Structure 1
Amino acid sequence: MDYKNYIESNAEILLGKPVIKGTRITIALILKKLSEGATPDDLIKGYPSLTHNSIIAALAYASDVVSNETVIEAA
C-alpha cells in the first residue's frame, strides 16, 4: 500500500501535522487510539470518514517514519 494516497501534510491544516486526506484526523490520533486498545472498527465508528485502508496507511506511515529515524548515541 502506498500511504501517500491517504495521508497529507499541509501547513494550512493543523500546522502541517500529517492527517488523513480530506480530514483533520491526525496520524498521531489514530496511533494513540490503537495503542489504547481501540480496534479499527472502533475508530471507523467514532470517525466515519476513516476507512480500514486509511488506518492501515497510518500504520504504514508510522512504520516508515520509525524505520528511517537516525539514532545518535549520547557520548
Structure 2
Amino acid sequence: MVIDSEICHGKPTFKGTRIMVWQVLEMLKAGCGFEDILKEFPSLTVGHIKAALDFAAKKVAGESLVQA
C-alpha cells in the first residue's frame, strides 16, 4: 500500500492502482467475501485484502504505519 498526496487525495491505495483501501474495507464491512472483492477489483489479490485488514488493525491499535 502507498500513501501519496498526488494519488486519490492522499488516501491509502494499493500500489500501482487507484483502488483505495477504504473501498475494500467497506466491502468487507458490508459482508462481501474475498471472492466478491476480487471480482469487483480484478487487479487485487488475496494478499492485498489481507494487507488492508492488517492496515486497519494497526491503525486502530495506534501502531505506526510503514509505507511500502
TM-score (norm 1): 0.80
In structure 1, the residue matched to 2:3 is 9
* Structure 1 alignment gaps of length 5 or more: 1-6, 70-75
Unpaired segments ≥5 residues, structure 2 = 64-68
**Higher Rg:** 1
Residue in structure 1 matched with residue 66 of structure 2 by the alignment: none
Instruction: Find the residue that maps to 2:53 and give its secondary structure.
Output: helix
Question: If each structure's strand is expressed as a fraction of its own residues, which one has the higher value?
Answer: 1
Return the letter of the residue paired with 1:34. L
Counterpart for residue 44 of structure 2: 50
Q: How does 1:57-68 map to 2 (within 5 A)?
A: 57-68=51-62
SS, match of residue 32 in structure 2: coil
| TM-score, structure 2 normalization | 0.88
Percent identity over the alignment? 41
Dislocated runs of 4+, deviation >4 Å: none
